[in-house]
Structure formats: C-alpha cells, structure tokens
Amino acid sequence: MATTTAVVAGGGRGIGAATSIMLARAGAAVCVLDVDPVRAATVVDEINSAGGRGLAVEADLRQNDQVVRALETARMGLGTVNLLVNVAGGMNAFAPFKPLHQWDAETWDEIVALNLGYVFLTCRTILRGLLEAKSAGVIVNIASISGETSAPNHAPYGAAKAGLASLTRSLAVEYGGHGIRVNAVAPGAVVTPATANRESAMGTTPLGRHAVAEDIANAVIFLASPLSSFITGQVLLVDGGASSTFPLTTPSDVS
C-alpha cells in the first residue's frame, strides 16, 4: 500500500486505532481523524515511532465544515486521499439499551447522526476529491451485525447501520465506473475500551471467543488492498459465526 493515502475517521481508539496502525504497517500514509485530539496523537505517535507516516487531525465528524477542513488538511499533509475508512459510531454513550417506545426523538437523531449521517459528509468530500483528481479509490465503512439481523433494545443503532449497508451498496453502483470501490465490514461483538464493560452480555460465538479490534482491522485491510480488486458493494460479516446462532441477547428487556 505504498501509494495509499488513507483517512481513518474515528481512528483514535478501538477498531479505528487498530486499523490506522495496520494500514501504516502495510505502507500507507495515514490521517487519524478523531474528535479527541489526544487519542489521535497517541495513535500517530505509535505510527511515526515505527517508521510510518501519520497525521493527527481533530474534527467533529457530524459537522460538515469540520469534515471538509479536516480532509483538506489530510490532503495537504499527506497527498490525495484514495482510501477512506469510516469507523466512528456506536451507541454505548446512550446505554442502557431499551425498547423503541422509551427512546426520545433527540437521542434517536443523535445515534443516527453518529452512525450514518457523518458518513454522508466524509464520503461526499472524499468522492469529490477523487473525481476532481480522476483517481481510483476505496471506501470501507464499518457497519454492524445489528444492521444485518434483528436484535432487541437498540433499534436506532440497528436502523442506522442498516442504512449504512444500503449507502455502501448505492455508492458502489454510482462510482464503480470511476474505479472507486465501496464495501463495508459488519462486526459482531468486539472487545474494545468502549465495550469492555458489556463483555459478559455479548453472548458467545461458534469460534468460542469475541473479536478483538485487530480481527476487524484485518478485514478492512483486505477490502482496501488489491486482493479485493473485484469486490465492491459488499457487506462482509466478521462475527465469528454469531449470525448463525441468533437471537442476540442484550442487557435489558422490554418493560
């Protein structure tokens, strides 16, 4: 990936940090884009200390002006961006999980913005740059098993991730003729700093363990590499076989 310039949106921790580091090890120049500048700088320090080329950029991905400014900073610092990985998302900040009738409209909007809305902003900006440069490129979105199958008590998250899967397929169709591939990785349960306190509630998988961030990053690397040059518009489940053993249980019940 020596000619790859990547932006990892939400690259400061968990899956994003693992992806940023692995991309750098593969030879890509990596912009770690995160709302927390300390997290981003920590990952970039690790990349640079290992001989890679990294750049930390702070941005609230839900704000279009900040997204545009951040990606322009990445372009100026590292060159034309030809790989975008959209990792930011989640709903742990809104726990406990609960049934639909208990969610308020404001929180619903926040969860959708965090998991789907910002991807429109990052993809639109990157696509405009690729088209202007007449450059091929790759986008990899982090979706979720929750967008592929049904589980109780986190409807806004599942709906947003299902929307992300649909957006992925739409972009693959719209931009494939320009040499731009768009795919998604849909993790199951992943042990990260954001989910460690819920590990016991994640259930089990046929492989007998939960994923770690590097398992998901490996799938991203594959979809970003020439090994997947004829793959686009796909959602790759990386769940240890969990989707074969649903229903998924969640920490709370309808009441």
Least confident window among 37-41, 177-181, 204-208: 204-208
Beta bridge partners of 83: 6, 138
- How confident is the model at residue 124, as a pLDDT? 98
Q: Is residue 252 part of a domain?
A: no
Residue 208 gets the label, from left (phi > 0), alpha (psi -120 to 50) or beta, of left
Q: Give burial (CB, 10 Å; 0-12/13-18/19+) of 72.
A: middle
Q: How many domains does the chain have?
A: 1
Q: Does the structure show a pLDDT above 90 at 191?
A: no
Give a yes or no: residue 251 inside a domain: no
Report pLDDT for 27: 96
Question: Is residue 2 over pLDDT 70?
Answer: no
**End-to-end alpha-carbon separation of the chain, Å?**
51
pLDDT band at 249 (very low <50, low <70, confident <90, very high): low
Nearest residue to 57 (alpha-carbon basis) of 125, 139, 142: 125
Residue-averaged pLDDT of the chain: 91
pLDDT for position 162: 96
Q: Specify the pLDDT at position 195.
A: 57
- Residue 167: DSSP 8-state: H
Taking each helix axis from N to C terminus, what angle separates 64-78 and 118-133, rounded to the nearest 10 degrees? 40
182-213 in b/e form (b: 16+ CB < 10 A) is: bbbbbbbbbbbeebeebeeebbebeeeebbeb
Please state the pTM of the whole predicted model: 0.91
Angstrom distance (rounded) from CA 92 to CA 81: 30
Domain assignment present for residue 100? The answer is: yes
Asked, for residue 253, whether it belongs to a domain, the answer is no
Confidence (pLDDT) at 201: 46
Q: How far apart are CA 20 and CA 66, in angstroms?
A: 20
Residue % of the chain over a pLDDT of 90: 76
Residue 249 counted as domain residue: no
Q: Let me know if residue 104 belongs to a domain.
A: yes
At 194, which CATH number?
A: 3.40.50.720
- Of 10-14, 54-58, 239-243, least confident by mean pLDDT is 239-243
Phi, psi of 52 (to 5 degrees): -85, -175
Could you give the CA distance from residue 151 to residue 104 in angstroms, rounded to a whole number?
A: 19
What residue numbers bound the domain in which 159 lies? 5-244
Which ranges in 79-154 belong to alpha helices (H)?
105-112, 118-133
Host H or E run for residue 14: helix 14-25
Q: Is 241 left (phi over 0), alpha (psi -120 to 50) or beta?
A: left
How far, in Å, CA of 151 to CA of 149, rounded?
A: 7
Q: Residue 203: pLDDT above 70?
A: no
Domain assignment present for 103: yes
pLDDT, tens digit (0-9, with 9 covering 90-100), for 57-86: 999 999 999 999 999 999 999 999 999 999
Catalytic sites, residue numbers:
157
